[in-house]
């Protein structure tokens, strides 16, 4: 029975080939664009997830205000409000795993005849752990280097490429503000951060050395930035609270006074970036779904035309014994074939489109089995949904009226 | 006397119209035995087609009862009626009503699709019936390739394919010339000789003369029910 019906559906569709193909085209475009848009959206999500994983997890950045006034005033003439002692105190708090005081700025790096401007970070060994930064060759500096203010440096991939080209930077000397630094390690590659800045364009040196030789610091013991890592995402709210309380107490801030530091939650920033791309990819999918809907309406339209055109045929079939469900199944099957075939072709085009975007741009495109499955289920659903009404109309025809139809 | 294949009792049918219900049939009583060949005659609008639609289970009466092979079908549901049309009744229409995109063989086999019969058996039965109406050679042709008389033969083959107990034909020769009409009626008579029960609506006395019994309608009522005169004289083939 089903085989006979399939054959008949094939026949009916073949009788109006152009119309069938055009109707299918609606589904092809719909499914194709859904697959493509989902691939682009998921690609963007994947790229952001990759970036987030390079930032280090559960991080806070404390940014100091200035001492010139009671309130917080950026760019003031006074010294930074945060100190290395603050950092040490924070390290004692529950739920805190790493604390790294930092001083950073852009500096000219010189090696032989090569010049390169890069971000120089002065910090403590905790920084490498907090940022989960791998070291591909050499080793990181230790606490003794910070105490003794040794002139050692770890270099990021981009800075290394620009200063040393294909040479191995390990053991070579670079100059920052006339001071020579020996490169003791090369950092692993991280790529861009969420703002699109190249994280590998950097040099990391001990905090003390940075303050004395590179940036200069008229306020000994103070720092502009402290990076704090919590044990876990769950611990973050508690850490934030106790850290703020600790700093206010250490800075002797009165109840009515504002904080003299900023606290920036990098995890939240990462979350919001992930959320933004998630919403964007949903939006892309939703826009593409509209074309799928239009394709579905096209199927319904054509099926209604087909029912009207074939009213007499329906009457004949009923007269020789077709039950309502037989007629309904016949038209439903046709709608389903059109939508599923259109879906398959659309899938192929969508995947080809995604692959070609992948080939010609550096955009990340991810085609998941899930999105393919969703597109397929939606197409079948559309076939049934938009085919049902015409099929029901066909089945509800009165045999005598239908037979009289010209 | 065998059980009547068709027995209608006070059968009535009204159509709803803008001016209120219009009674197209106003209480018809009739019984038809298996093996009969009945012609239904009457002027236009007398209710012949209405009556045939009721007999064919395409429609249900507004009053009275209809016993088809002993079962009262007057109040049956649509799907049960569809099954009866499929198994018990064969239709032949004035306009042939073949499906234009299907081959003749597929047209003849179509009722079997709805009886759930497998493809090979459908094919064999369809070829058998096409042979019975003398069109074996055209099995793979499309309806548009053959003459009207041939199309009506195919329609008869389709009506026969499910071995129904009753064949209904509403003006089967209405679209045919007199020679072809005669051929079709001869075919009907031959089928009747094989024991098939036939009810044929016609305007023409020549056509009705092929039947053994003639029933007349007027204004929704049956006004006469007589054996065909020639037959009564004992000139016809005998199959009783
Ligand atoms: N669906 C309908 N709605 C309203 N009136 C109808 C309907 N079908 C038939 N009639 C009316 O019922 C009466 C009988 O119609 P019917 O078709 O049975 O006549 P008939 O004897 O077959 O005529 P003909 O010889 O012209 O075919 C006619 O007056 C017709 O107008
Ligand atoms: Mg009529």
* Cα–Cα distance, A40 to B137 (Å, whole number): 60
- Does B144 reside within a domain? yes
pLDDT tens digit sequence for A388-398: 999 999 999 99
Q: CA-CA distance, B77 to B14, in Å (whole number)?
A: 19
Which pLDDT does position B16 carry in this prediction? 94
Residue A17 contacts B, CB cutoff 8 Å: no
Q: What pLDDT score does B238 carry?
A: 43
More confident residue, A386 or A54: A386
Share of chain A above pLDDT 70, in %: 96
- Find chain A residues with C-beta within 8 A of B102's C-beta: 11
Mean pLDDT score of chain A, rounded to an integer? Answer: 88
The pLDDT value recorded for residue B2 is 63
Distance CA A61, CA A263 (A): 6
The pLDDT of residue A108 is above 80: yes
Name the residue of B16, B49, B170, B203 to mutate for ligand 1: max ligand atoms within 8 A of Cβ.
B49
CA distance B152 to B176: 9
| Contact criterion met (CB < 8 Å) for B101 and A11 | yes
Residue B80 confidence (pLDDT): 95
CB of A400 within 8 Å of any CB in chain B? yes
**CA–CA gap between residue A94 and residue A92 (Å, rounded):** 7
The mean pLDDT of A245-266, rounded to a whole number, is: 89
Interval A25-73: pLDDT, tens: 988 998 888 888 888 888 888 888 888 888 888 899 999 886 544 444 4
- Stretch B34-61: mean pLDDT, rounded? 96
Residue B164 has a pLDDT of 95
Q: Going by C-beta distance under 8 Å and a sequence separation of 6 or more, which residues neighbour residue A244?
A: A259, A263
Nearest to A324 among B79, B99, B115 (CB): B79
**Cα of B15 to nearest chain A Cα, Å:** 13
Q: What pLDDT score does A147 carry?
A: 93
Nearest-CA neighbor of B126 among B98, B156, B161? B161
pLDDT digits (tens, 9 = 90+) for B112-128: 999 999 999 999 999 99
Mean residue pLDDT across chain B: 92
Please give the pLDDT value at position B195. 93
Would you tell me how many other CB atoms lie within 10 Å of the CB of residue B157? 27
Please state the φ and ψ torsions of residue A367, each to the nearest 5 degrees: -105, 115
Residue A358 pLDDT grade (very low, low, confident, very high; cuts 50, 70, 90): confident
According to the model, what pLDDT value does residue A37 have? 87
Domain locations along chain A: 2-52+272-404, 82-259
- pLDDT exceeds cutoff 50 at A10: yes
For residue B72, CA distances in Å to A289, A341, B66, B216 come to: 53, 47, 5, 24
User: Pick the residue with more confidence: A49 or B96?
Assistant: B96
> What average pLDDT does this structure show over A356-365?
81
Interchain proximity B58–A4, CB inside 8 Å? no
Per-residue pLDDT of A180-212, as tens digits, reads 999 999 999 988 888 888 999 999 999 999 998
Any idea which of A22-31, A110-119, A213-222, A327-336 has the lowest mean pLDDT? A213-222
Residues 6+ apart with CB under 8 A from A271: none
Reply yes or no on whether the pLDDT at A292 is more than 90: no
Dihedral angle computed from the Cα positions of residues B160, B100, A10 and B115, in that order, rounded to the nearest 10 degrees: -20
Rounded CA separation A228/A206 (Å): 17
Q: Which pLDDT value is given to residue A182?
A: 95
Q: Give me the number of domains chain B comprises.
A: 1
Question: What CA–CA distance (Å, rounded) separates A310 from A316?
Answer: 10
What letter does residue B143 receive in the DSSP assignment?
G
User: How many Cα atoms within 13 Å fall on the side-chain side of residue A58?
Assistant: 19
Flag whether pLDDT at B137 surpasses 90.
yes
Left if phi > 0, otherwise alpha if psi is -120 to 50, otherwise beta: which for A372? alpha
Query: Shortest CB distance from A316 goes to which of B86, B87, B97?
Result: B97
Percentage above 90 pLDDT, chain B = 92
What residue's CA is closest to ligand 1, atom 4?
B15
A-B Cβ pairs (cutoff 8 Å, strict):
66
- In the predicted model, is pLDDT for residue B6 greater than 60? yes
Does the beta-carbon distance from A319 to B162 stay under 8 Å?
Answer: no
pLDDT in tens, B61-89: 999 999 999 999 999 999 999 999 999 99
Decide if pLDDT at B191 tops 90: yes
Average pLDDT for A244-263: 89
Counting ligands in written order, which one lies closest to the CA of residue B54?
Answer: 1
Taking residues A98-107, report their average pLDDT.
Answer: 93
How many Cα atoms within 13 Å fall on the side-chain side of residue B77? 4
Least confident range from A62-76, A221-235, A300-314, B12-26: namely A62-76
Domain membership of residue B147 (yes or no) is yes
ipTM above 0.85, yes or no: yes
Contact check, Cβ <8 Å, A15/B101: yes
CA atoms within 13 A on the CB side of A100: 30
- B165: domain CATH number is 3.40.50.300
Q: What is the pTM of this model?
A: 0.76
Interface check B111 vs A, CB under 8 A: yes
Among A241-245, A291-295, B16-20, B173-177, the minimum mean pLDDT is found in A291-295
3-class SS string, chain A: CHHHHHHHHHHHHHHCHHHHHHHHHHHHHHHHHHHHHHHHHHHHHHHHHHHHHHHCCCEEEEEECECCCCCCCCCCCCCECEEHHHHHHHHCCCCEEEEEEEEEEEEEEEECCEEEEEEEEEECCHHHHHCCCCEEEECCCCHHHHHHCCCEEEECHHHHHHHHCCCCCCCCEEEECCEEEEEEEEECCCCECCCCCECCCEEEEEHHHHHHHHCCCCCCCEECEEEEEECCCCCHHHHHHHHHHHHHHHCCCCCCCCCCEEEEEHHHHHHHHHHHHHHHHHHHHHHHHHHHHHHHHHHHHHHHHHHHHCHHHHHHHHHCCCCHHHHHHHHHHHHHHHHHHHHHHHHHHHHHHHHHHHHHCCCCCCCCHHHHHHHHHHHHHHHHHHHHHHHHHHHCCCHHHHHHCC
| Residue to probe by mutation, ligand 1, list B11, B18, B22, B219, most atoms within 8 Å of CB | B22
Ligand 1: list residues with CB < 6 Å: B 15, 17, 22, 24, 42, 44-50
Reply yes or no on whether the pLDDT at A127 is more than 90: yes
pLDDT band for B240, please (50, 70, 90 cuts): very low
Q: Is the pLDDT of residue B236 over 50?
A: no
Residue (of B232, B237, B128) closest to B190 by Cα position: B237
B75 touches chain A (CB under 8 A): no
Range of the domain at B234: 6-239
Task: Quote the CA–CA distance of B105 and B154 in Å, as a whole number.
Answer: 9
Report the percentage of chain B scoring pLDDT > 70: 95
Q: Which ligand is nearest to the CA of B204?
A: 1
Residue B44 pLDDT:
95
What phi and psi values does residue B195 have, to the nearest 5 degrees?
A: 105, 5
- Taking alpha carbons only, the member of A330, A322, A307, A320 closest to residue A394 is A307
- Pick the range with the lowest mean pLDDT from A3-17, A291-305, B207-221: A3-17
Query: Is residue A34 a contact partner of residue A368, using CB atoms and an 8 Å limit?
Result: no
Residue B1: inside a domain = no
């Amino acid at each position: 029975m089903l085989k006979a019906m399939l054959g008949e559906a094939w026949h009916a569709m073949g009788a109006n080939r152009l119309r069938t193909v055009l109707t299918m085209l609606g589904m092809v475009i719909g499914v194709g664009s859904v697959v493509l848009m989902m691939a682009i959206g998921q690609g963007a999500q994947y790229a952001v997830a990759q970036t987030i994983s390079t930032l280090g997890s559960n991080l806070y950045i404390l940014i100091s205000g200035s001492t010139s006034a009671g309130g917080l005033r950026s760019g003031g003439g006074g010294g930074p409000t945060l100190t290395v002692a603050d950092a040490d105190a924070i390290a004692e708090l529950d739920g805190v795993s790493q604390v790294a005081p930092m001083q950073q700025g852009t500096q000219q790096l010189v090696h032989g005849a090569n010049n390169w401007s890069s971000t120089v970070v002065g910090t403590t060994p905790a920084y490498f752990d907090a940022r989960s930064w791998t070291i591909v060759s050499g080793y990181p500096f230790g606490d003794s280097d910070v105490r003794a203010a040794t002139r050692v440096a770890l270099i990021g991939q981009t800075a290394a490429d620009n200063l040393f080209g294909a040479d191995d930077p390990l053991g070579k000397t670079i100059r920052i503000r006339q001071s020579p630094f020996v490169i003791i390690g090369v950092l692993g590659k991280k790529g861009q951060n969420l703002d699109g800045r190249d994280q590998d364009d950097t040099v990391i040196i001990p905090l003390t050395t940075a303050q004395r030789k590179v940036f200069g610091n008229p306020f000994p013991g103070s720092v502009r930035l402290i990076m704090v890592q919590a044990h876990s995402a769950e611990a973050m709210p508690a850490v934030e609270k106790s850290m703020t309380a600790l700093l206010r107490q250490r800075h002797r801030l009165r109840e009515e006074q504002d904080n003299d530091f900023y606290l920036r939650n990098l995890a939240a920033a990462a979350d919001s970036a992930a959320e933004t791309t998630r919403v964007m990819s949903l939006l892309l999918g939703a826009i593409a779904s509209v074309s799928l809907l239009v394709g579905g309406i096209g199927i319904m339209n054509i099926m209604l035309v087909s029912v009207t055109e074939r009213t007499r045929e329906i009457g004949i079939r009923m007269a020789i014994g077709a039950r309502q469900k037989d007629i309904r199944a016949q038209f439903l099957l046709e709608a389903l074939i059109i939508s599923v075939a259109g879906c398959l072709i659309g899938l192929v085009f969508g995947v080809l489109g995604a692959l070609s975007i992948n080939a010609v741009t550096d955009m990340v495109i991810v085609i998941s089995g899930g999105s393919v499955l969703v597109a397929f289920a939606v197409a079948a659903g559309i076939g049934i949904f938009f085919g049902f009404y015409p099929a029901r109309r066909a089945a509800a025809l009165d045999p005598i009226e239908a037979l009289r139809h010209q | 006397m065998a059980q009547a294949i068709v027995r209608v009792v006070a059968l009535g049918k009204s159509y709803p119209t803008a001016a209120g219900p219009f009674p197209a049939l106003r209480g018809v009583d009739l019984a038809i035995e298996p093996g009969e060949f009945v012609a239904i005659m009457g002027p236009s609008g007398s209710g012949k087609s209405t009556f045939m639609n009721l007999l064919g289970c395409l429609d249900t009466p507004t009053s009275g009862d209809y016993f088809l092979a002993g079962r009262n079908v007057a109040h049956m549901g649509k799907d049960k009626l569809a099954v009866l049309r499929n198994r018990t009744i064969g239709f032949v229409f004035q306009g042939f009503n073949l499906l234009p995109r299907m081959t003749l063989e597929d047209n003849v086999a179509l009722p079997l699709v709805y009886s759930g019969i497998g493809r090979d058996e459908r094919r064999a039965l369809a070829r058998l019936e096409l042979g019975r109406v003398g069109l074996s050679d055209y099995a793979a042709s499309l309806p548009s390739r053959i003459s009207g008389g041939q199309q009506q033969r195919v329609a008869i083959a389709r009506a026969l394919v499910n071995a129904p107990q009753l064949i209904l034909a509403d003006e089967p020769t209405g679209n045919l010339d007199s020679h072809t009409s005669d051929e079709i009626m001869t075919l009907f008579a031959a089928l009747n000789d094989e024991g098939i029960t036939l009810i044929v609506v016609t305007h023409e006395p020549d056509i009705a003369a092929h039947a053994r019994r003639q029933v007349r309608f007027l204004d929704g009522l049956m006004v006469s029910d007589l054996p065909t005169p020639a037959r009564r004289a004992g000139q016809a083939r005998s199959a009783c």
